[in-house]
Chain A
């Protein structure tokens, strides 16, 4: 199906807004637009999109996100005074605070038009990640985070992407580029949050370059409204001895698709991926991860857990590719799912492609219900059945959430998850 009319419409609206940008970017956008125009949105005929159907998006006429005014107090606060914060509402940047490691892309384009040439979009393959083409074609402003060797940021950087109700469904394309020079360290939180009644499609792309010895803690917290669609690609290039820790938490959204792709390209590089998703009613959450071990002595650990209730559906696809020369690779992956309803569904699939002969690689996937023994044990201690169920569900989730190293964030996430459990009033008193 041709997406041309929709693309033309988006392109016109987009052109009205972008005043000036470097020629290389205009060229990059054109390629991306051509890709989208030709291929449209991915369909379930794509192997990587077998279980996630974007058909509902076809029926909507999206406009590029325009400025809307909201009362910031309507956005639940993360309670983070100690964070550098940069907020976007429907793609429009709010005020940026001095001392932050973040800059707006528009500012960078103005001051050094070619600074990001060859960098932006370097990690994005449209064939593997078709939605990234849509983002590249239409992102408005974005964020550049550069930590130079020797620079130090103790406080986490919080990027907030707020989706607010607009005149019609809006296409919001957050774009982030993170570059950590050798031996630097940064904690970044990307938070996707929505205001009630929005019907937007947030389609984000974050690219990360980690030089040797660099260390990034990347948190992705998605708590969009149950009417929003959210997609994100996190693409990471890792040099020797770099370390990537990712924590992905999904509690919101109607239709959610996350792609995480990291390339371990130097000896000693490590990637630690952890994820938690909780889906209720008819929510659909899809996590696709790819870890490419391209160098010897690289390590990856991946733990994703999900809780599904009602008629919710989740997909986990974890691919690990060990290249021929990547000897002594050590890769472990697990995906555990707790199904609270007979009508919920999970499709979980590990994929190992190993071309080296001296590697350690393991994977495991489980799908189960709450442990009856544990439930009975708690009840004999006087804990009511609903509370006991909530407690065990929370305990299952918390084994992943406990990996969140920023205390305020961990508390916030634990509370967010707790609020979605039955009988949570009882639980909250106890934490």
Chain B
């Protein structure tokens, strides 16, 4: 499980996270909502190991490992995965190469044998079918000239292949039409199981119609100001965030 306690973080001179507390037990899916600039993406990136933010207090533990002590790649080896809000285009590195390098790096870490070319392709094809992606994509550069929707699909494809135990999805739903949203949700749901924790960062209740969260949290001004069941998302959709920020009503 993921356990974040009193996390404070800053970028340059600005304090962004001001004491975040968050627990995600194994097997649960939590949604993280909140107004723009509240620190949602910062939190997602700190979990993955982004070094641009300075953690000034608090801790992030996952399965009793102090994540903040690990490099991004070590975190990945421990089962952490971040689906990027803005997936990076990497011309010259093709998708199949990245998938293979990523999968084998993690298998080596876990002491498993690397997949041979046949097994690997079989796995990739199966997952691509799930994500309704065309095979031609394999030999294209990573995210190179992909549409916004294709990039998001690609993030979830990587996730279904790497099978992380802690997945953080940063606005994976933004920019998707309804059909693409269903495909992406389907991919995410295929990974739900009792050992896996997920954190969905989103602005829209819509995603949660397809991926039902166990808990919804609201992050505002660097703190979790409210947590509740999935009905909280519906309430936010109706009332916005102001009622939460102004004086911590209820």
Question: Which residues does A use to contact B, with CB under 8 Å?
Answer: 371, 373-374, 376-385, 387-388, 391-392, 394-396, 398-399, 426, 429-430
A387 CA to B101 CA, complexed, in Å:
10
* B109, CB-defined interface residue at 8 Å: yes
- The answer to whether residues A380 and B72 also contact, given A373-B88, A430-B100 and a CB cut-off of 8 A, is yes
- The answer to whether residues A381 and B92 also contact, given A376-B72, A387-B101, A430-B100 and a CB cut-off of 8 A, is no
Structural contact, B90 and A395, CB atoms closer than 8 A: yes
Contacts of A383 in B (CB 8 A): 73, 98, 101-102, 105
Min CB gap A168→B, angstroms: 44
Contacts of B104 in A (CB 8 A): 429-430
Map CB proximity to A onto B55-97 as digits: 1 under 8 Å, 0 otherwise. Answer: 0000000000000000111011100111010011011110001
Within 8 A of A (CB), among B145-194: 158, 162
Contacts of B93 in A (CB 8 A): 378, 391-392, 395
Which residue of chain B is the closest to A397 with respect to CB atoms?
Answer: B92
A377 CA to B105 CA, complexed, in Å:
14
Contacts of A399 in B (CB 8 A): 91-92
- The answer to whether residues A377 and B87 also contact, given A383-B73, A385-B73 and a CB cut-off of 8 A, is yes
Contacts of B88 in A (CB 8 A): 371, 373-374, 376-377
A401 CA to B93 CA, complexed, in Å:
13
Cross-interface CB contact of B91 among A382, A385, A395, A426, cutoff 8 Å: A395
* B218, CB-defined interface residue at 8 Å: no
Structural contact, B91 and A381, CB atoms closer than 8 A: no
Question: Which residues does B use to contact A, with CB under 8 Å?
Answer: 48-51, 71-73, 75-77, 80-82, 84, 87-88, 90-93, 97-98, 100-102, 104-106, 109, 141-142, 158, 162
A191 CA to B98 CA, complexed, in Å:
32
Contacts of A388 in B (CB 8 A): 73
- The answer to whether residues A381 and B49 also contact, given A395-B92, A399-B91 and a CB cut-off of 8 A, is no
Contacts of B162 in A (CB 8 A): 381-382
Structural contact, B109 and A381, CB atoms closer than 8 A: no
Structural contact, B92 and A382, CB atoms closer than 8 A: no
Q: List 30 A-B contacts (CB under 8 A).
A: A371-B88, A371-B90, A376-B51, A376-B88, A377-B88, A377-B90, A377-B142, A378-B90, A379-B71, A380-B80, A380-B82, A380-B84, A381-B98, A381-B158, A382-B106, A382-B109, A382-B162, A383-B73, A383-B102, A384-B73, A385-B71, A387-B105, A391-B101, A395-B90, A395-B91, A395-B141, A396-B92, A399-B92, A426-B101, A430-B104
Which residue of chain A is the closest to B102 with respect to CB atoms?
Answer: A381
Cross-interface CB contact of B98 among A373, A378, A396, cutoff 8 Å: A378
A391 CA to B90 CA, complexed, in Å:
10
Contacts of A371 in B (CB 8 A): 88, 90
A391 CA to B101 CA, complexed, in Å:
10
**Which residue, of A376, A377, A387, A398, has the highest number of chain B Cβ atoms within 10 A?**
A377
- The answer to whether residues A392 and B90 also contact, given A380-B82, A381-B98 and a CB cut-off of 8 A, is yes
A388 CA to B97 CA, complexed, in Å:
12
Contacts of B84 in A (CB 8 A): 377, 380
Which residue of chain B is the closest to A431 with respect to CB atoms?
Answer: B97
Structural contact, B87 and A430, CB atoms closer than 8 A: no
- The answer to whether residues A382 and B76 also contact, given A377-B84, A430-B100 and a CB cut-off of 8 A, is yes
Min CB gap A45→B, angstroms: 40
A392 CA to B81 CA, complexed, in Å:
21
A384 CA to B101 CA, complexed, in Å:
10
Structural contact, A379 and B76, CB atoms closer than 8 A: yes
Cross-interface CB contact of B73 among A382, A394, A395, A426, cutoff 8 Å: A382
A73 CA to B77 CA, complexed, in Å:
44
A136 CA to B141 CA, complexed, in Å:
47
Min CB gap A394→B, angstroms: 8
Contacts of A379 in B (CB 8 A): 49, 71-73, 76
Given A380-B49, A385-B73, 6 extra CB contacts under 8 A: A378-B98, A379-B71, A381-B101, A381-B102, A382-B102, A395-B90
Structural contact, B81 and A380, CB atoms closer than 8 A: yes
Structural contact, B49 and A430, CB atoms closer than 8 A: no
Min CB gap A415→B, angstroms: 15
Structural contact, A382 and B105, CB atoms closer than 8 A: yes
Structural contact, B77 and A382, CB atoms closer than 8 A: yes
The 9 closest A-B pairs by CB, nearest first: A395-B92, A382-B76, A379-B72, A381-B102, A382-B105, A377-B88, A395-B93, A382-B106, A379-B73
- The answer to whether residues A430 and B101 also contact, given A391-B93, A398-B92 and a CB cut-off of 8 A, is yes
Min CB gap B27→A, angstroms: 23
Contacts of A377 in B (CB 8 A): 84, 87-88, 90, 142
Contacts of A398 in B (CB 8 A): 92
A387 CA to B75 CA, complexed, in Å:
16
Contacts of A396 in B (CB 8 A): 92
Structural contact, B81 and A384, CB atoms closer than 8 A: no
A429 CA to B51 CA, complexed, in Å:
29
Contacts of A395 in B (CB 8 A): 90-93, 141
Contacts of A380 in B (CB 8 A): 48-49, 72-73, 75-76, 80-82, 84
Cross-interface CB contact of A374 among B90, B102, B106, cutoff 8 Å: B90
Which residue of chain B is the closest to A393 with respect to CB atoms?
Answer: B92
